[in-house]
Copies of this chain bind each other. A is one copy, B any other.
Amino acid sequence: MGAIGDNYPSAVLREAVDAISSLPGVGSRSALRLALHLLKQPKENIHHFAEAVNALADDVHYCRECNMIADGELCGICADGSRDHHLICVVESVRDVMSIEATGQYKGVYHVLGGIISPIDGVAPSDLSIAALVERLQRMEGPVEVILALSGDVEGETTSFYIYRQIEGLAAKVTTLARGLGFGDDLEYADAITLGRSIVNRQLFKV
């Protein structure tokens, strides 16, 4: 197929393609395909699509406790009395919460930072909800465990260390995710750093 180039037959179509191709990972060719697909749909479907997008701007709230996306003042997890509110898992983003929730293994609550400290990307500690975490811990009664569940790269380690310095003394226990070989992983294919740390941090064999 030849290149489509700049031969848009309609300014409206061009605007839609420009908007759609502003999404990450969507090129102008895919955007055109998606715009023409939308165009073929009944008007009410197109309006519904636009409304769902608009609602992202207008109707999304952030939980006043944990900074998670919510439909009201509190997110469903913070509003859930059956969860352990003295176990707080600190994560970078909403996606991380969803990934951990999907495991079904965690019954505590969360604190969503909204990013990770990264001087290269211009993200400073003050851009993240770290001060809110400190205040949250100051407000709490009884011993609290904070799990730092950030990524294992330099930014993640830096952010974990920064937060640790801010909250030590406020949390009874600060933990981090276990790292090592994945379950079912073959030693042969593991990267050297992961394998090395798996040996250093070896655990008692349980039967």
Copies of this chain per assembly: 2
Q: Which candidate, A42-50, A136-144, A156-164, A189-197, is the interface stretch facing chain B?
A: A42-50
A173, chain B: closest CB distance, angstroms: 25
A36 at the interface (CB under 8 A from B): yes
With beta carbons under 8 angstroms apart, the residue of B3, B53, B95 that contacts A53 is B53
Q: Which residue of B lies closest to A39 (CB)?
A: B56
Q: Which of A32, A49, A61 has the most CB of B within 10 A?
A: A49
CB of A16, distance to nearest CB on chain B (Å): 5
Residue A132, interface by CB 8 Å: no
A179 → B minimal CB distance (Å)? 15
Which residue of B7, B33, B49 is within 8 Å of A102 (Cβ)? B7
Structural contact, B95 and A15, CB atoms closer than 8 A: no
Complex-state Cα separation, A10 to B95, whole angstroms? 12
Once bound together, how far apart are the Cα atoms of A61 and B12, in whole Å?
A: 10
Query: Which residues of A line the B interface, CB within 8 A?
Result: 1-5, 7-13, 15-16, 18-20, 22-26, 30, 32-39, 43, 45-61, 68-71, 75-77, 93-95, 97-99, 101-103
Q: From A46, which residue of chain B is reached at the shortest CB distance? A: B57
Closest to A44 in B: B57
Is the Cβ of A52 less than 8 Å from the Cβ of B16? Answer: yes
> Roughly how many angstroms separate A99 CA and B4 CA in the complex, as a whole number?
5
The verdict on A69 contacting B3 (CB below 8 Å), with A22-B49, A53-B50 known, is no
Contact status A49-B53, CB under 8 Å:
yes
A178 to chain B, nearest CB (A): 15
Contacts A7-B98, A8-B98: A50 and B39 contacting too (C-beta < 8 A)? no
Known contacts A10-B70, A22-B49, then 8 further A-B pairs from the complex at CB < 8 Å, ordered by chain A residue: A9-B77, A10-B75, A13-B94, A26-B34, A33-B95, A39-B69, A46-B56, A50-B50
- Asked if B35 and A56 sit within 8 Å, CB to CB, the answer is yes
Q: How far is the CA of A36 from the CA of B204 in the complex (A)?
A: 41
Contacts of A24 in B (CB 8 A): 33-34, 37
